[in-house]
C-alpha cells in the first residue's frame, strides 16, 4: 500500500530514520561499509534533529548542517541538546568526508560505530516517545 509522507510531520522523519537505522545495524553486524555506515548515521542524526525541531514548531529548513540544527535545538531549550551535542561534534563533518574523496579516511572502528549507533537509537526512542500517536 502506498503512503504519502509529509516533510512537516516529525513522525515521517522518524520513519525514515528508523529505516536507515535498520540498514546501519546490518552493516555494523557484518562489519562492512564502515564509511557508508558512518555517513548514514550522520544522516539519521540529521533526521532525528529535524523531527524534534518540527515537533517544537520549527519551520523546516533544507540543510544538512548538523551544527546549525544543534543551534536551533539549543535556541528552543530542548532537554535533548546535552545528548545531541556530543553526537553532533562526532558526526558534523562525516556527512561529507565519508562520502567523497579528498578527505582523510581513518581505519574502521566498529566498536565506536556500534556505541554511536546505540546512542542514536536511544535518541530515536526518546523522540518517538514524544510524538503524539496518529489516530
Nearest to 39 by CA among 96, 101, 90, 85: 96
Do the domain assignments include residue 34?
yes
Q: Which range marks the domain in which residue 61 is found?
A: 10-100+109-129
Nearest to 80 by CA among 90, 95, 91, 69: 69
Give the residue-averaged pLDDT of 96-108.
79
Instruction: Supply the pTM of this predicted model.
Output: 0.92
Residue 85 has pLDDT above 80, yes or no: yes
Give the domain CATH number at 125: 1.20.120.330
Q: What is the pLDDT of residue 133?
A: 67
| 47-61, 91-105, 116-130: least confidently modelled range | 91-105
Do the domain assignments include residue 2?
no
Q: What is the pLDDT of residue 3?
A: 77
Do the domain assignments include residue 4?
no
Q: What is the pLDDT of residue 1?
A: 74
Give the residue-averaged pLDDT of 73-94.
94
The alpha carbon dihedral of 30, 100, 109, 89 has a sign of negative
Do the domain assignments include residue 50?
yes
- pLDDT band for position 101 (50/70/90)? confident
Q: What is the pLDDT of residue 134?
A: 55
Do the domain assignments include residue 49?
yes
Q: Are 33 and 27 in contact (CB under 8 A)?
A: yes
Cell of 34: 564502515
Amino acid at each position: 500500500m502506498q503512503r504519502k509522507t509529509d516533510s512537516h510531520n516529525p513522525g515521517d522523519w522518524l520513519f525514515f530514520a528508523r529505516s536507515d537505522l535498520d540498514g546501519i545495524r546490518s552493516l555494523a553486524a557484518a562489519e562492512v561499509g564502515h564509511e557508508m555506515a558512518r555517513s548514514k548515521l550522520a544522516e539519521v542524526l540529521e533526521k532525528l534533529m529535524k523531527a524534534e525541531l518540527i515537533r517544537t514548531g520549527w519551520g523546516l529548513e533544507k540543510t544538512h548542517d548538523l551544527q546549525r540544527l544543534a543551534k536551533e535545538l539549543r535556541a528552543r531549550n530542548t532537554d535533548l541538546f546535552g545528548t545531541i551535542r556530543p553526537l553532533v561534534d562526532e558526526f558534523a563533518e562525516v556527512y561529507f568526508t565519508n562520502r567523497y574523496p579528498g578527505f582523510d579516511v581513518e581505519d574502521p572502528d566498529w566498536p565506536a560505530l556500534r556505541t554511536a549507533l546505540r546512542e542514536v537509537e536511544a535518541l530515536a526512542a526518546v523522540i518517538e516517545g514524544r510524538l503524539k500517536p496518529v489516530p
